[in-house]
Amino acid sequence: MEGVNGKKVGHLFENISSFVRQCIFSVLSVGPVPSHIAFIMDGNRRYSKKQNLIDGNGHRAGFSALINMLKYCYELGVKYITVYAFSIDNFKRRPEEVVSLMKLMQEKIDELTKEESIVNRLGIRIYFQGNLKLLSDHVRSAAERAMVKTSGNSKAVLSICVAYTSTDEIVHAVQESCEEKWDEIRKLDANNDGGNLIRLEENVKDKDEHQIGVTNVDRHMYMSVCPDPDIIIRTSGAARLSNFLLWQSAHCLLYSPAALWPEIGLRHLIWVILDFQRNYLYLKEKKKQS
């Protein structure tokens, strides 16, 4: 009987919380709403120590925080959400910790793609961004399955950066841009009766078309599926990007609450949205000038 009453109280509390959020978000929606918010989920291990939790439970609490933030962003109308889940540098941690995190990641990826999961209920498409070759076979397969299973969802996009650093992303994009240009040159060369590259240069009206520019590199970035972030939120009070979205963050708002990632809540999101709206015209003007 107590269990039934507990469920009723839980449902009532959720309904009240949902109504309050709707009221708050309807007010916030009068102003500009960011289309893309990115999160550096910092502080899971410190939260675990702070709460005297056993290994892994800090990251489990962090996953719950991610689900809540995903729901809040969706309700507010944010189309793109990106999270920094695992850096390439994180592979340098103790081997047993890396193995434990990979197992937990696989478990949570599978949980995200269940039919009744929040991702499918809200129609959110998942992308995994990064050097996925560095992941274990099981985790990489789980990530690939998740991308396929959610490919039909179109209401919002969740990008999960794993085995990721921004410098690796930039190098990857430059390499692919170079390969693309060389392929174009070879095809033009072949269509030019086998003429050499020097003769090809003389015959091309606009030599600049064979130079690699920002748009070429931008097209080959892992994050090309999303617009640049409007806001990057890093929890735990650290004011650094840690090699995350360096290419894309030139004109976005940075916010670093003192809360550890599992402690992040609705009030933090409301505060940063208000700050974004206060600075919106300035940020918009900066983007125009770039």
Contacts of 67 (CB under 8 A, 6+ apart): 118
156-164: strand order across its sheet: 124-129, 156-164, 80-87, 36-40, 231-234, 253-255
Q: Answer whether residue 97 shows pLDDT above 60.
A: yes
Residue 281 confidence (pLDDT): 86
Q: How do residues 138-192 score in pLDDT, each as one tens digit?
A: 999 999 999 999 999 999 999 999 999 999 999 999 999 999 888 887 887 777 6
* Amino acid 288: pLDDT: 77
Residues recorded for the chain: 290
Angle at 208 between CA 203 and CA 214, to 5 degrees: 150
From the list 214, 215, 189, the residue with the least C-alpha distance to 204 is: 189
Q: Please report, rounded to a whole number, the percentage of residues in the chain having pLDDT higher than 70.
A: 90
Give residue 158's pLDDT.
98
pLDDT digits (tens, 9 = 90+) for 5-36: 656 666 777 888 889 999 999 999 999 999 99
* pLDDT, tens digit, 9 for 90 and up, residues 250-271: 999 999 999 999 999 999 999 9
- What's the confidence (pLDDT) of residue 178? 92
Side-chain half-sphere CA neighbours of 40 within 13 A: 27
- Cα separation, 36 vs 43, in Å, equals 22
- Among 42, 89, 168, 189, the active-site one is 42
- DSSP characters for 53-120? PPTTHHHHHHHHHHHHHHHHHHHHT--EEEEEEEEGGGGGS-HHHHHHHHHHHHHHHHHHTSTTSHHH
* Residue 1 pLDDT class (50, 70, 90 cuts): low
First to last CA, the chain: 63
Known catalytic residue: 42?
Answer: yes
The Cα–Cα gap between 145 and 113 comes to 8
pLDDT tier, 108 (very low <50, low <70, confident <90, very high otherwise): very high
List 37's β-bridge partners, or say none. Answer: 81, 231
Asked whether the beta carbons of 62 and 41 are under 8 A apart, the reply is yes
Cα 50–Cα 55–Cα 61 angle in degrees, nearest 5? 65
Q: How far apart are CA 45 and CA 260, in angstroms?
A: 9
pLDDT value, residue 213: 87
Instruction: Out of 45-59, 146-160, 192-206, 268-282, pick the least confident.
Output: 192-206
Mean pLDDT for the chain overall? 89
pLDDT of 207 strictly over 60? no
Q: Does residue 238 carry a pLDDT above 80?
A: yes
The Cβ of residue 46 has, within 10 Å, a number of other Cβ atoms equal to 15
What pLDDT shows up at residue 181? Answer: 85
Prediction pTM value: 0.89
